[in-house]
Amino acid sequence: MPIHRWSRTHDAGWIYEAVRVLLTPIALFLYRCRGISAPNVPASGPVILAPNHFSNMDHFFAGVSIRRKIRFMAKSQLFFRNPVLTYIYRVGGVFPVRRGHHDEEAFITAHAILERGGCVLIYAEGGRSRTRRLGDAKPGVGRLALESGVPVVPVAIHGSHSVRAWKRLVFPKVTVQYGDPITFPRVEDPTREQQLEAARVVFDQVKSMYAALDERGRASVIKSVREGAAAAAAPRTEAHS
């Protein structure tokens, strides 16, 4: 497929930057989007982002607080409706995946992007949750992590389940927390059980961060993160004193 061939050899282009400029003010001011621990995403080199998924805005929310250009899979039906939209998706960093199929082309493209030092987002649940609750981990993110050996950053996106209420002028507060990177030993041909186990390890971290945001609120989580960072830095400070 031409879209896959292009995506494997090109970075996201001007469409990505244009969409970032357009949507960043919306995310920051209407949805009060705030990123926590964004430095956990490496500034360069291959990395996989693995968020939960409630809203079509989630990939934008995931990218607001980081400068990396995120490449992500989207359902293949989007690419055959209109040639103009297909161009926008392609140059905007999106590549297709046939959901419900064993789509090798999508994984070949994801690997090619990682081999070029890119950042690939793959939803840990495989698709969008239709409820207000987190779903179950699907093997896709585990497969990509094991086959590539690339670090995976768990990402909790909290508040986006209400984004679709914008027509009623309801704009929920969205928080995006980036967890510590997880690296798995590389496995050339992982079994489905291995893929699922790796995906569950990643998604357990997403669930833990999400639960803390849900139960304690954003301010409390930010305070805890700052206190943890200060405590980690204290021994180094004393060692140099």
Answer whether residue 241 is part of any domain. Answer: no
Query: pLDDT below 50 — which residues of the chain?
Result: 241
| Single pTM value for the model | 0.92
Note the pLDDT tens digit of each residue in 213-227.
999 999 999 999 999
Four-point Cα dihedral 143, 146, 151, 154, nearest 10:
40
Answer whether residue 148 is part of any domain. Answer: yes
pLDDT on residue 77: 76
pLDDT on residue 239: 53
In whole angstroms, what is the distance from residue 121 CA to residue 94 CA? Answer: 10
Query: Where are the strands (E) in the chain, listed by range?
Result: 34-36, 47-51, 70-75, 94-97, 119-121, 152-158, 175-178
pLDDT on residue 113: 98
Answer whether residue 138 is part of any domain. Answer: yes
Q: Provide the domain limits for residue 46.
A: 2-216
Q: Residues near 148 by Cβ (< 8 Å), separated by ≥ 6?
A: 46, 48, 111, 114, 186
pLDDT on residue 232: 86
pLDDT on residue 80: 72
- How many structural domains does the chain have? 1
Structural element, H or E, at residue 22: helix 14-25
Q: Which domain CATH number covers 17?
A: 3.40.1130.10
pLDDT on residue 128: 83
pLDDT on residue 148: 97
pLDDT on residue 194: 98
